[in-house]
Amino acid sequence: MTADPVMRTYEGVIDSIRHMLLTGEVSPGDRLPSERELADALGVSRPMVREALRTLEVLGVVAARRGQGPAAGTFILTEPSPALATLLDMEFTLERFDLADVIDTRVMLERWAILSMPADADLSAAAHALSMMSEPLTREELMEWDLSFHQAIVDCATNRLAAHLYRSLRGAMHQRLADSLASIDAEAWESFWRRVMREHRMIYAALDSGDRERAADLSEKHVTRHYLRRP
């Protein structure tokens, strides 16, 4: 690490940590240098370093572990965080994204995942989610297993970025789905649940038989019908 004479804000510290990752000076799972070491190396104040690390922690890039010894310090996380889902949810709440655009993006990701799914894809997670929906469920339970079913399908494409983006979109839409289910009265609930189950079974059957085109079409129709009320 070398000090940057023009570095004046915490964004500069974040950029330096990003450079450390790009050059291999640190890797996911590694512990970062201490606040004092970073401040000295970058020629900035410790409060500036602290602000940068707190920002990275909120973004899900690092995690701070309190205490002393080798297990303490600030570590680069190895797995994607839910930060993107939180950001999308806030953007969606502020109505910066149209619902139809969000749904269309979700459909595009799921359709791509289905069509690019390897022939020997492991469908066990999707099958498990489907089996959990086979008994009458509460609205919350149905929502969770419905989302798990679709996530399991996207995960089969083995593209981690696509799976993470899909999970983030799914998380941002969680409350909208909850509101939609809450609007269904008790008398109509069983009929709705049975229709949802039938649609999921049809999607799974098409996947299991290797008919990716049919599975993609069924999935798109299912998602758009329940979120956008398209026929």
3-state secondary structure of 195: helix
Q: Which of 46-60, 89-103, 135-149, 178-192 has the lowest mean pLDDT?
A: 89-103
Residue 144 and residue 133: Cα distance in Å, rounded?
Answer: 10
Give the pLDDT confidence score for residue 227 in this predicted structure: 67
Q: How far apart are CA 103 and CA 105, in angstroms?
A: 5
By the 8 A CB rule, do 7 and 42 touch? yes
Q: Residue 230 pLDDT > 60, yes or no?
A: no
* pLDDT bracket for residue 83 (50, 70, 90): confident
Q: What is the pLDDT of residues 125-148, one digit of tens each?
A: 999 999 998 877 788 888 889 889
This prediction has a pTM of 0.71
pLDDT tens-digit readout, 187-208? 888 888 888 899 999 999 999 9
| Closest of 169, 167, 153 to residue 118, by C-alpha | 153
Please give, one letter per residue, the 3-state secondary structure of 27-96.
CCCCECCCHHHHHHHHCCCHHHHHHHHHHHHHCCCEEEECCCCCCCEEEECCCCCCHHHHHHHHHHHCCC
Q: What are the CA-CA distances from residue 222 to residues 12, 178, 182, 194, 197 (Å)? A: 46, 16, 18, 13, 11
Looking at every residue in the chain, the average pLDDT score rounds to: 85
Helices first, then strands: H and E counts in the chain: 11, 2
146-189 residue pLDDT tens: 889 999 999 998 888 888 888 888 776 777 777 777 788 888 88
Domains delineated in the chain? 10-76 (1.10.10.10), 83-228 (1.20.120.530)
